[in-house]
């Protein structure tokens, strides 16, 4: 096989040794990218490499071109890059699809019977697989090649394969191990011959890290917050949280219901909260549009609610499988009439876990809807991170036992009425979408009850403002330039800042985007230059900051082509 | 004897409205079943009929127009021991709530759905409802309704609803018995109840309903789905009574993973942090 893989022109000098390898797998939907990825990432992480993986894909079940980016590094990696060190295209369409990211340094390996590219490093995957008895083995050969390049401990690879295929019988396990071995040998040669010239240090403590994506972090955070039920209608990219919770439901004893539409979803969740559940709904912009009427209902009946919204580009169906931060205003203003709400925008999986946990306690305490705003890039990306510490977490329940004189909307000093539920105590719990009295009954007493109830709801906003989560300053406390951003841009900005290494530039990340933390203005005033970075067309969050602080944000870096920011893009922005 | 569910006071209903008749029927049914006040939860949408829960002394969730069924299922999911009863009108249930009606029947939560059917919109002042009959003239349908009215019973039977019945405000004794059966039935129970709207429907009056309805005969077999469907399609006169019962259906809340191990309502439970830890460990 040596003659296939050792073109002298591809040999590189040692000064080019990479301490990180960025691998991209690309091919049609259904060609097996996901099965390669799922085995590979587990093995690599467990052998002590830092890993980050993200994907971009088309809204179709078969065909098209999808790609998965896997960064393997000796230091933690958490963000999307343009750079590709090793590209493994599974068909001819993959090359033009990724042309902007392929550089002279990108090594392209593939089977020349399937992929036609002048600088292709040929590996006869198909022939090798057929010799093993089935073309299906080509994917495992590819896994072996990558593990060989990285010098993954061989035993770990074979154990992973065994675990993966044990249900299919010993023969299948043996054949797959054979396939992986043949790939591994090729990978070792590619690395030794410096065709793929990388030496990536391992750190054995990484095997104790968890490998978790944004959807799983939100789902597990929900459970940590006492979530006992999930209602949803499948919609990409919100489905991941729904799927994850459904997967945990037997173990945790959860209510899981796929409802007929998002209107039903939100109304069902409110019914569940009313009767004492702690429910989450998960959706994307289009589905959330249908929920807005019931969001207003949550405001009227002062029901807690937790909504996870994974954003994708609109309007309407938009780009179903792509990413954007375009629904901030939708969530901020969703629902007719005034009522308070809280909006979180996690910047990484850890923050997603803990914010979602908090969302349940806050929703319950203040009896308001709380939103977790993520996006496709965030939900689909995963990486290794230290195990979350859950020991100090508490599920705060604020339900009271009712008596005969119980009033659901009792007027109190701070606006919060003790929340009873039906069946717990002797009282009746009456909630009404109409303007209502303290007892929860319809009223048209305009100057008396209406004003009192409206003011009561407003009082809760003032309470929420007081406890608003502060923004996180990353970088030097004395800065000249301040970057402002929210949500999934966080890690990409941090990585770009590290590369630039300019102590005058700091970054203010907002885990809570509404109500806007009071200190926001003070942070902004300290800067000579402000840069707003948002993955949408207009800078929706920036508009809110301008409105609330009176500070103009004219320098806006916006992206809205359906892809997340890359480290390289933001590096250029910060170099200016 | 004092009825514990009776809440005296003014209503927003017109004098002579069929809603009063239905209210009296339901009050009697609740009392005769010996239900406790804090075991019953009412759910409704919006409309004149949907105001019904306001006039009972019970816990209620008076939500949005057309949206009584989803919260009702949510309540059963959170606490299956609650006795959940919906009262709403034909517009709320079959019009705005039509999609939920179809899927709630499929879902089959153990709830009772009492639909006040007066073939007209009352609260919005006299427009056609999904059950308005062909030719019915309104300020909007000025040349008469041309759209085929919904036949809620035939629809429910076609979807294999677990309990399908029709009563009438003008037939209090028999309708009360139907509603008692519906509340005692385990699964989704639909009771469509004819009533007159004295303000906006001058065609389908108390007298009209008397003259155009009759009760299914005593020998009628409500387990025969084909027969039930046939009888539900009868247009004039229209039968009253229990059309169809299927007791062999899975009940929504019984089948939830939450109740496989424990029957306790969700509010009494604590998150098992040890199991959460296991889920997190599995991510290694």
pLDDT < 50: residue spans in chain B: none
Domain A211-385 has CATH 3.40.50.970: yes
CB pair distance less than 8 Å for B257 and A250:
yes
Residues B157-187 as b/e (b if ≥16 CB within 10 A, e otherwise) read bebebbbbbbbbbbbeeebbbbbbbbbebeb
CB pair distance less than 8 Å for B62 and A433:
yes
Which member of B59, B259, B279 has the closest CB to residue A422?
B59
Which member of A223, A274, A427 has the closest CB to residue B276?
A223
Which member of B41, B67, B258 has the closest CB to residue A254?
B258
Residues A60-94 as b/e (b if ≥16 CB within 10 A, e otherwise) read eeeebbbbbbbbbbbebbbbbbbbbbbbbbbbebb
CB pair distance less than 8 Å for A268 and B61:
no
- Cis amide prior to B237 (ω within 30 degrees): yes
pLDDT in tens, A468-520: 999 999 999 999 999 999 999 999 999 999 999 999 999 999 999 999 999 99
Contacts of A352 in chain B (CB under 8 A): none
Which pLDDT value is given to residue B2? 86
CB pair distance less than 8 Å for A428 and B57:
yes
Contacts of A232 in chain B (CB under 8 A): none
Size of interface A-B (CB pairs under 8 A): 215
Identify from A253, A306, A406 which residue to disrupt to test chain B contact, counting B C-beta atoms within 10 A and taking the largest count: A253
pLDDT band for position A445 (cuts 50, 70, 90): very high
A544 contacts A512 by C-beta, under 8 angstroms: no
Helix (H) or strand (E) holding A342: strand A342-344
pLDDT in tens, A249-271: 999 999 999 999 999 999 999 99
From start to end of chain B, where are the E strands?
Answer: 40-44, 59-62, 83-89, 111-117, 163-168, 189-194, 213-215, 238-245
| Whole-angstrom distance, CA of residue A109 vs CA of residue A7 | 12
CB pair distance less than 8 Å for B78 and A210:
no
User: Hunting for tokens 């008397």 — which residue is that?
Assistant: B210
| Whole-angstrom distance, CA of residue A534 vs CA of residue A513 | 13
Point out the least confidently predicted range of A52-61, A226-235, A327-336, B19-28. Answer: A52-61
A525 contacts A291 by C-beta, under 8 angstroms: no
pLDDT band for position A1 (cuts 50, 70, 90): very low
Sign of torsion, CA B82 B87 B88 B94?
Answer: positive
Q: What angle do CA A31, A36, A41 make, to 5 degrees?
A: 150
CA A570 to chain centroid: 19
A490 contacts A510 by C-beta, under 8 angstroms: no
Non-local (6+) Cβ contacts of A359 within 8 A are: A221, A222, A225, A306, A342, A344, A370, A372
CB pair distance less than 8 Å for B75 and A422:
yes
Contacts of B39 in chain A (CB under 8 A): 423
Q: Where are the domains of chain A?
A: 2-208, 211-385, 399-456, 472-575
Distance from CA of B75 to the nearest CA of A (A): 5
Contacts of A268 in chain B (CB under 8 A): 70-71, 73-74, 77
Which three-class secondary structure state does DSSP give residue A215? helix
Q: What is the 3-state secondary structure (H, E, C) of A312-328?
A: CCCCCCCCCCCCCCCCH
CB neighbours of residue A96 within 10 Å: 10
pLDDT band for position A14 (cuts 50, 70, 90): low
Phi, psi values for residue A443, rounded to 5°:
-140, 155
pLDDT band for position A35 (cuts 50, 70, 90): confident
Query: Measured between alpha carbons, how far is residue A441 from residues A276, A458, B21, B93 in Å?
Result: 21, 20, 22, 22
From start to end of A470-534, where are the E strands?
Answer: 472-474, 481-486, 505-510, 512-514, 529-534
Higher pLDDT, B71 or A28: B71
A148 contacts A188 by C-beta, under 8 angstroms: yes
| Whole-angstrom distance, CA of residue A115 vs CA of residue A93 | 9
CB pair distance less than 8 Å for A248 and B279:
yes
**Which residue does chain A place closest to B271, by CA atoms?**
A226
pLDDT in tens, B249-282: 999 999 999 999 899 999 999 999 999 999 999 9
Which member of A251, A388, A423 has the closest CB to residue B82?
A423
Contacts of B67 in chain A (CB under 8 A): 263-264, 267, 294, 297
For residue A381, pLDDT over 70 is answered with: yes
**Which residue does chain B place closest to A207, by CA atoms?**
B284
CB pair distance less than 8 Å for A277 and B41:
no
CB pair distance less than 8 Å for B273 and A393:
yes
Contacts of B281 in chain A (CB under 8 A): 387
**Which residue does chain A place closest to B38, by CA atoms?**
A423
Which pLDDT value is given to residue A115? 94
CB pair distance less than 8 Å for A252 and B269:
no
CB pair distance less than 8 Å for A387 and B280:
yes
Enter the CATH code of domain B18-251.
Answer: 3.40.50.970
pLDDT in tens, A146-201: 999 999 999 999 999 999 999 999 999 999 999 999 999 999 999 999 999 999 99
Identify from B63, B88, B100, B273 which residue to disrupt to test chain A contact, counting A C-beta atoms within 10 A and taking the largest count: B63
* A211-385 against A472-575: fold identical: yes
CB pair distance less than 8 Å for B62 and A387:
no
Q: Where are the domains of chain B?
A: 18-251
Average pLDDT of every residue of chain A: 95
CB pair distance less than 8 Å for B73 and A268:
yes
Which pLDDT value is given to residue A8? 44
Q: What angle do CA A253, A258, A263 make, to 5 degrees?
A: 125
Q: Is A129 exposed, middle or buried (0-12, 13-18, 19+ CB in 10 A)?
A: buried
Which member of B12, B72, B258 has the closest CB to residue A228?
B258
CB pair distance less than 8 Å for A255 and B257:
yes
| Whole-angstrom distance, CA of residue A566 vs CA of residue A447 | 55
Class of A2-208 in CATH: alpha beta
Q: Residue B125 region, left (φ>0) first, then alpha (ψ -120 to 50), else beta?
A: left
Helix (H) or strand (E) holding A131: helix A125-132
CB pair distance less than 8 Å for B271 and A223:
yes
* Percent of residues in chain B assigned helix, strand, coil, to nearest 5: 40, 15, 45
Query: What CATH fold (topology level) applies to the domain A472-575?
Result: Rossmann fold (3.40.50)
**Which residue does chain B place closest to A408, by CA atoms?**
B59
Distance from CA of A242 to the nearest CA of B (A): 15
Non-local (6+) Cβ contacts of A543 within 8 A are: A329
| CA max distance for chain B | 73
CB pair distance less than 8 Å for B284 and A257:
no
**Which residue does chain B place closest to A227, by CA atoms?**
B271
Which pLDDT value is given to residue A3? 42
Which pLDDT value is given to residue A6? 43
CA B270 to chain centroid: 34
Q: What is the 3-state secondary structure (H, E, C) of A535-556?
A: CCCCCHHHHHHHHHHCCCCCCE
Contacts of B283 in chain A (CB under 8 A): 210-212, 216
Contacts of A251 in chain B (CB under 8 A): 275, 278-279
pLDDT in tens, B138-172: 999 999 999 999 999 999 999 999 999 999 999 99
Q: Are strands A505-510 and A472-474 parallel, antiparallel or unpaired?
A: antiparallel
Distance from CA of B16 to the nearest CA of A (A): 22
Sign of torsion, CA A171 A173 A176 A177?
Answer: negative
CB pair distance less than 8 Å for B75 and A387:
no
Which pLDDT value is given to residue A34? 86
**Which residue does chain B place closest to A397, by CA atoms?**
B267
CA A218 to chain centroid: 8
| CA max distance for chain A | 89
Helix (H) or strand (E) holding A65: strand A63-73
Which pLDDT value is given to residue B208? 97
Which pLDDT value is given to residue A498? 97
| Whole-angstrom distance, CA of residue A144 vs CA of residue A123 | 12
Distance from CA of A304 to the nearest CA of B (A): 14
CB pair distance less than 8 Å for A255 and B78:
yes
Distance from CA of A155 to the nearest CA of B (A): 18
Distance from CA of B229 to the nearest CA of A (A): 25
Which pLDDT value is given to residue A197? 95
Which member of B74, B81, B269 has the closest CB to residue A270?
B74
């Amino acid at each position: 096989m040596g003659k296939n893989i050792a073109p002298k022109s591809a040999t590189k000098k040692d000064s080019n040794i990479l301490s990180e390898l960025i691998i991209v797998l690309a091919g049609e939907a259904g060609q097996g990218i996901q099965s390669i990825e799922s085995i590979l990432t587990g093995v690599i992480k467990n052998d002590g490499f830092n890993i980050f993986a993200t994907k971009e894909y088309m809204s179709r079940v078969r065909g098209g071109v999808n790609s998965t980016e896997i960064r393997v590094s000796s230091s933690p990696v958490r963000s999307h890059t343009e750079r590709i060190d090793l590209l493994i295209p599974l068909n001819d369409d993959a090359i033009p699809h990724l042309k902007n990211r392929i550089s002279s340094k990108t090594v392209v390996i593939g089977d020349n019977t399937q992929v036609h590219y002048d600088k292709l490093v040929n590996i006869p995957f198909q022939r090798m697989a057929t010799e093993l008895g089935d073309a299906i083995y080509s994917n495992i050969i590819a896994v072996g090649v990558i593990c060989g390049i990285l010098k993954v401990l061989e035993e770990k690879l074979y154990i992973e394969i065994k675990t993966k295929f044990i249900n299919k019988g010993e023969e299948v396990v043996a054949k797959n191990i054979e396939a992986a071995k043949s790939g591994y040998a090729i990978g070792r040669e590619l690395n030794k011959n410096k065709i793929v010239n990388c030496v990536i240090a391992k750190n054995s403590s990484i095997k104790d890290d968890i490998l978790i994506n944004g959807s799983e972090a939100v789902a597990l955070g929900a459970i940590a917050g006492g979530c006992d039920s999930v209602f949803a209608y499948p919609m990409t990219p919100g489905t991941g949280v729904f799927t994850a919770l459904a997967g945990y439901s037997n173990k945790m004893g959860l209510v899981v219901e796929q409802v007929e539409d998002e209107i039903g979803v939100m109304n069902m969740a409110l019914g569940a909260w009313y009767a004492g559940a702690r429910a989450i709904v998960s959706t994307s912009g289009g589905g959330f549009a249908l929920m807005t009427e019931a969001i207003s209902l949550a405001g009227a009946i002062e029901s807690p609610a937790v909504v996870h919204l994974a954003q994708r580009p609109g309007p309407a169906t938009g780009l179903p499988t792509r990413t954007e931060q375009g629904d901030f205003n939708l969530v901020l203003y969703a629902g007719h009439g005034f009522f308070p709400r809280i909006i979180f925008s996690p910047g990484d999986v850890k923050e997603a876990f803990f914010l979602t946990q908090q969302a349940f306690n806050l929703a319950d305490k203040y009896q308001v809807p709380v939103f977790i705003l993520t996006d496709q890039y965030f939900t689909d990306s995963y990486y290794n991170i230290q195990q979350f510490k859950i020991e100090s977490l508490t599920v705060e329940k604020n339900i009271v036992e009712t008596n005969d004189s119980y009033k659901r909307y009792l007027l109190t000093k701070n606006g919060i009425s003790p929340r009873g539920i039906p069946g717990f105590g002797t009282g009746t719990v009456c909630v009404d979408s109409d303007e209502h009295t303290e007892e929860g009954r319809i009223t048209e007493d305009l100057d008396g009850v209406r004003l009192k109830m409206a003011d009561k709801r407003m009082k809760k906003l003032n309470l929420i403002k007081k406890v608003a989560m502060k923004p996180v300053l990353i970088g030097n406390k004395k800065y000249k330039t301040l970057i402002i951003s929210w949500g999934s841009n966080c890690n990409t900005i941090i990585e770009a800042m590290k590369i630039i290494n300019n102590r005058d530039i700091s970054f203010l990340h907002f885990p809570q985007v509404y109500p806007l933390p009071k200190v926001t203005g003070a942070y902004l005033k300290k800067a000579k230059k402000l840069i707003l970075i948002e993955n949408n067309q207009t800078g929706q969050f920036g508009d809110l900051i301008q409105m609330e602080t009176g500070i103009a944000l004219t320098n806006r870096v916006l992206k809205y082509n359906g892809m997340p920011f890359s480290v390289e893009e933001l590096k250029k922005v910060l170099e200016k | 004897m004092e009825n514990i569910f009776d809440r005296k006071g003014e209503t927003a209903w017109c004098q002579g409205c069929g809603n009063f008749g239905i209210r009296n029927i339901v009050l009697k049914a609740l009392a005769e079943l010996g239900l406790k006040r804090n075991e019953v939860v009412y759910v409704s949408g919006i409309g004149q009929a949907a105001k019904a829960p306001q006039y009972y002394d019970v816990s209620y969730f008076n939500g949005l127009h057309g949206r009584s069924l989803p919260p009702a299922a949510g309540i059963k999911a959170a606490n299956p021991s609650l006795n959940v009863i919906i009262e709403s009108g034909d517009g709320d249930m079959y019009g705005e709530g039509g999609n939920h009606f179809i899927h709630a029947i499929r879902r089959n939560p153990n709830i009772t759905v009492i639909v006040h059917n007066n073939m007209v919109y009352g609260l919005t002042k006299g427009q056609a409802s999904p059950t308005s009959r062909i030719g019915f003239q309104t300020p909007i349908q000025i040349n008469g309704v041309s759209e085929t009215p919904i036949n809620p019973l035939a629809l429910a039977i076609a979807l294999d609803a677990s309990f399908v019945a029709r009563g009438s405000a003008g037939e209090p004794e028999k309708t009360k018995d139907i509603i008692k059966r519906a509340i005692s039935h385990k699964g989704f129970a639909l009771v469509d109840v004819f009533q007159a709207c004295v303000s906006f429907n001058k065609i389908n009056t108390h007298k009209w309903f008397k003259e155009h309805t009759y009760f299914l005969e005593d020998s009628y077999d409500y387990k025969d789905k084909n027969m039930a469907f046939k009888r539900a399609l009868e247009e004039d006169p229209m039968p009253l009574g229990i059309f169809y019962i299927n007791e062999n259906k899975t009940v929504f809340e019984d089948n939830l993973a939450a109740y496989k191990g424990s029957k306790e309502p969700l509010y009494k439970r604590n998150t098992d942090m040890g199991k959460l830890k296991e889920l997190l460990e599995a991510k290694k």
